[in-house]
Amino acid sequence: MELTAAQGLIRCLELEGVDVLFGYPGGANLPVYDALHESKIIKHILVRHEQGAVHAADAYARVTGKVGVAIATSGPGATNLVTGIANAYMDSVPMVLITGQVSTSQVGTDAFQEVDITGITMPITKHNYLVKDAKKLPSIIKKAFHIAASGRPGPVLIDLPKDVASEIIKFDYPKEVSLRGYKPIYTGHKAKIKEAAELMMKAKRPVIYAGGGVLSSHATAELRELAEILTAPVTNTFMGLSSFPGNHPLFLGMLGLHGTRYANMAVTNCDLLISLGARFGDRVTGKIESFAPNATIIHVDIDPAEIGKNVRVDVPIVGDVKSVIHDMLSHLKKKDRSDWLEEVQNWKKQYPLIYSREGKLKPQAVIQKLSEYSKGDVIVATDVGQHQMWVAQYFSFMNPGSLISSGGLGTMGFGLPAAIGAQLGLPDKRVILVTGDGSLQMTIQELATAVDQKLPLKIFVLNNSTLGMVRQLQEFYTDKRYMAVHFDFVPDFAMIAKAYSIEGYTITSEEELDKLLPEIMENDKAVVVNCIVDSNVNVSPMVLAGKGIIEAIDC
């Protein structure tokens, strides 16, 4: 079969099972868009900014488990993807990005809309390709999907020059990939697993510390079985939230700098820390010397480079979390640890998450009400900032993968496009976006995409007219010398909703929210709820820089 390389590309995407593609057209990707015109399988979602495409593809990948695909033109189109690529890289999300490039004869001449996107994205992709030979395109695409989805997932970029895209090729899509420099390890080392299992049986005060790897390896059932058989409390990293039921008696919530006190106390006092698909990131550990100081550490991760990177590890196990837990379970017997559990339960009672509900509407109350109303049976996308931490603290996640958020990079502006991608991936699920007035304004143009696609997103803006997280940092670290954190002007988000032909509400009290929630949640169109909240609230508890996680302050 003879095709242009661009037609071949679309054919490859179809064969990879791509049915939704997020993108923005331009000059250098004209051949690709022309080929896309012929596809009956792929639905193209036209966004309003390339950043929207890449975040939407990211969230689409997170909720469907497929590889997310975004496409942009050369130059500014490609650079607009960069933040989103870095975001996916940090959060280990499988994606394939396809950028147009100027014709090969023009590459390197500073041609119009030329940028070295493979050079730019080298540190933020798992791998990238500049296609110089059209014949190699199918095998490159096969490899790109394989690399993106296997091992520790991540983004792969393919840069396709315009002339190469127009070349005629004999189309033949390879069935298999072989990359001698890339062979992820899935099965854990037998002896190490046995050693870990023995430690688990012997431990008196074990804690399971579960991260995003549990979700990406679909190991949530195994995690639960492990926790229950060991009677070991479970704490989540931010990325791990939703991997363990929020109402489970063994659940400790999130740990780390804004984690629950009881999670941090359990980790600090444990004698065995079982790390599953987590990477001991700085938001989790605080002062590294005080992190789980008396614990033997078992670290299971699919990425060997994460093991021993930040903390010393006693039992390293490289492998897929699901497979490793599965193999571990055969060595384990039900273990009762009532003393330890009682101690943990006492901490839970003694140091609950609390906030004052007096005065103006409290942002935490909005989250709590959303959690109660939805019973956790929704997908929650968030942006980045205080609201994100309140979601982590006060939303009780019941279903794996129901939190979609930017963890590693902390990308403000991620939320709205991510909600769009999540809703397109799961059309029958209710998708809530919790955002802030700062974050939303970073990618607010994507409201048009949501309306275009008739997506019934429920958008809750925790509006404090402030860049709240930075304000909080300035309160503690720059002696309340507030600089550039208060917006003198904030648009009326309810009016903005109306301009986009959807419903907009403004609420200022819990009573209003209670009254309107059913109407908001049942609306079959997108809704923006402008929640005017107290601007002086801090995310609490908080571990100050350089302190151990046990030294959190209330604020």
Catalytic residue numbers read: 50, 112-113, 162, 469
Least distance from C-beta 137 to other proteins, angstroms? 11
Contact yes or no for 24/50 (Cβ under 8 A):
yes
Contact yes or no for 518/540 (Cβ under 8 A):
no
Amino acid at 218: H
Residue with smaller CB distance to other proteins, 126 or 326: 126
Least distance from C-beta 162 to other proteins, angstroms? 19
HSE-up (13 A, CA, CB side) for residue 190: 0
Residue with smaller CB distance to other proteins, 125 or 449: 125
Closest CA relative to residue 12, chosen from 51, 84, 67: 67
Contact yes or no for 527/455 (Cβ under 8 A):
no
Residue with smaller CB distance to other proteins, 67 or 250: 67
Using DSSP bridges, classify how beta strands 272-276 and 251-254 pair: parallel, antiparallel or unpaired. unpaired
Least distance from C-beta 318 to other proteins, angstroms? 10
End-to-end CA distance of the chain: 66
Least distance from C-beta 212 to other proteins, angstroms? 17
Q: Which two tokens stand for residue 229?
A: 């058989």
Closest CA relative to residue 59, chosen from 418, 425, 529, 311: 418
Closest CA relative to residue 403, chosen from 392, 412, 413, 411: 392
SS3 487: coil
Residue with smaller CB distance to other proteins, 127 or 387: 127
Phi, psi of 356 (to 5 degrees): -85, 135
Residue with smaller CB distance to other proteins, 159 or 222: 159
Phi, psi of 69 (to 5 degrees): -125, 130
Least distance from C-beta 132 to other proteins, angstroms? 8
Please give the Cα distance from 151 to 188 (Å, whole number). 13
Least distance from C-beta 418 to other proteins, angstroms? 26
Beta-carbon neighbour count of residue 182 at 10 Å? Answer: 14
Element (H or E) spanning 381, and its range? Answer: strand 379-382
Amino acid at 122: M
Q: What is the dihedral of CA 48, 85, 279, 228, to 10 degrees?
A: 50
Least distance from C-beta 305 to other proteins, angstroms? 4
Least distance from C-beta 311 to other proteins, angstroms? 11
Residue with smaller CB distance to other proteins, 308 or 427: 308
Residue with smaller CB distance to other proteins, 124 or 234: 124
Q: Using omega within 30 degrees of 0 as the cis cutoff, is the peptide bond preceding 249 cis? A: no
Residue with smaller CB distance to other proteins, 408 or 425: 408
Contact yes or no for 550/268 (Cβ under 8 A):
yes
Residues that bind other proteins (CB under 8 A): 118-119, 122-123, 126-127, 130, 136, 139-140, 147, 178-182, 303-305, 308-309
Please give the Cα distance from 172 to 498 (Å, whole number). 50
List CB contacts of 183: < 8 A, sequence separation 6 or more.
Answer: none
